Chain A
Amino acid sequence: MTDGRALQKGSALLLPAVLFGLLVAAQWTTIATPGVQDVGIRYIDPLAAAVNRLQDEQASLKAQLAEVRAKLDGVQRAASAQSGAAKDVQAHIDELRASAGLTEARGEGIVVTIDALRPLGAKEPERQVCLAPDLTDVVNVAWMAGARAVAINSERVVAASSVYCVGATIVVNGSIVAAPFAVSAVGSAPSLLAAIDDPAQLVDLKRRRDQLAVDMRVTRSPLVTVAPYAGPLGARSAKPQ
């Protein structure tokens, strides 16, 4: 009888003990997790501020570069009127600048907008996805369809263009571009639309769009404006032969 009572008492204590154990474990996890994150989180704000400061500095440097280029262009253009040889060189420079993406391009075309989709119930879209390969795939299709000029947001795509992700942040031509990402292409709108709609093109992107993993919209426009390339041209290793 005494043993039975002791067993009953023991059983009665078992449930509260398990619950207490679970509570202690849960509390331990709650305390431990922010401690681990704090070490990293501590540096995020000052590092993000440094990125913003450098991006602002870059915008200012690009404006200065555009100003010096325009001044030099003005001097050369005025001087080219003085001799036939200089006039020919200037005409060649103008043609190369246009074909290399150093002048603004306007005309009919399309804009393909890509962004990560917002998960159900979330305030912000899911940004931890690298969309750079999708952007380069769209750029490739645009060139294939005969586009005259292409840009990702305000960054013109040229022969030396870089497009990559650092985490989910996309860097084009050494400059951070913000979501949503817009690939603007100047060229024959019907040809560009046909290429984008071709089932053999952008297979992976369209599959993820259909699975609601990514938002992709295509807009035809009678006037697409693509900004000129604003970065450096100087080559350090490649020399003309």
Chain B
Amino acid sequence: MRSRAGVLAVTATALFLGVLVVSQFRSREAYSRTLRQETPEQLTRLIADLNDRNRQLRSEIFDLRLALDAAQSAVASGRGSLETSEKQLAQLRVFSGRSRVTGPGVGVRVEGQFDERALSDLVYELRNAGAEAIAVNDSRVGPRTWFGPGSSGTLVVDGREVRGPWVVRAIGDADVLYVAMTRTGGIVGQFEVIYSRTRFTVGRESTLDLPAVGGT
């Protein structure tokens, strides 16, 4: 009786693993087929992006291993790991948008007709170029930020009406962000065609001060 239950359990586990392997294989197959439809230029761009991301991951693993060693040594010597915890807390506050931040970056000023979808696209384009912190006028973009239509001359950010002109400020590598915004065929170029009466100005900034989520 027991061996029959065991066989059933093994069969169920094997079935589950089989389904998992097949679904993983299918997922990999699905994007592999898509990849073969891309041009060599597009594949080269993907390789560059993946290399960059993997470099960031390696750097983060290296830093965390150092932090782990420091925390283990501190605990072993009876000092506790408060210092490591406070560093982690500061990093999380920046990542989640819960602390005010400062740094170099770009500002994109939008004067005239604009809409919430375009604003969302602009914010994503800045994130895609590596922006680490973003604000729309005085509203910091957080993990759950959403954009909606507002009354005349305004857009809604996280439920708050934000009146134009809108200035989207982003902290990150100023040169990379500037090129991402202003390159031929880039998002600002597209906006200039679509919103032909709206004025878009992009500028590099050596220091930007952004508020925390909630405006504190």
Contact = CB atoms under 8 A, between A and B. Distances in A.
Interface in B178-213: 209-210
B216 to A, nearest CB: 11
B67 A237 contact: no
Contacts of B172: 236-238
Interface in A6-54: 40, 43-45, 47-48, 50-52, 54
A100 B34 contact: no
Contacts of B88: 72, 76, 93
Contacts of B45: 166
B61 A143 contact: no
B30 interface: yes
Nearest to B131: A160
Contact of B37 (A80, A93, A159, A167): A167
Contact of B57 (A48, A93, A169, A231): A231
Give the size category of A's interface with B.
Answer: 35 or more
Interface stretch (A63-71, A207-215, A217-225): A63-71
A153 B32 CA distance: 16
A159 B97 contact: yes
B40 A128 contact: no
A235 B36 CA distance: 34
Contacts of A119: none
A136 B187 CA distance: 15
A100 B209 contact: no
Contacts of B65: 68
B38 A169 contact: yes
B128 A163 contact: yes
Interface stretch (B1-9, B13-21, B142-150): B142-150
Tell me the dominant secondary structure on chain B's binding face: helix
B56 interface: yes
Nearest to B65: A68
B137 interface: no
Residue among B32, B35, B84, B148 having the largest count of chain A Cβ atoms under 10 Å? B35
B100 A240 contact: yes
B142 A159 contact: yes
Contacts of B27: 178
A168 B45 CA distance: 13
Given A162-B124, A241-B100, A44 B43 contact: yes
A162 B128 contact: yes
Contacts of B96: 96, 99-100, 159
B133 interface: yes
A64 B103 contact: no
Given A86-B80, A147-B144, A159-B143, A174 B40 contact: no
A65 B34 contact: no
Given A96-B93, A136-B124, A238 B133 contact: yes
7 contacts: A43-B40, A50-B43, A51-B46, A57-B54, A69-B64, A75-B68, A79-B74
Interface of A: 40, 43-45, 47-48, 50-52, 54-55, 57-58, 61-62, 64-65, 68-69, 71-72, 75-76, 78-80, 82-83, 85-86, 89-90, 92-93, 96-97, 99-102, 124, 127-128, 133, 136-137, 140-141, 143-144, 147, 157-164, 166-169, 171, 174-179, 231-241
Pick the 3 closest A-B CB pairs, nearest first: A174-B53, A100-B96, A47-B43
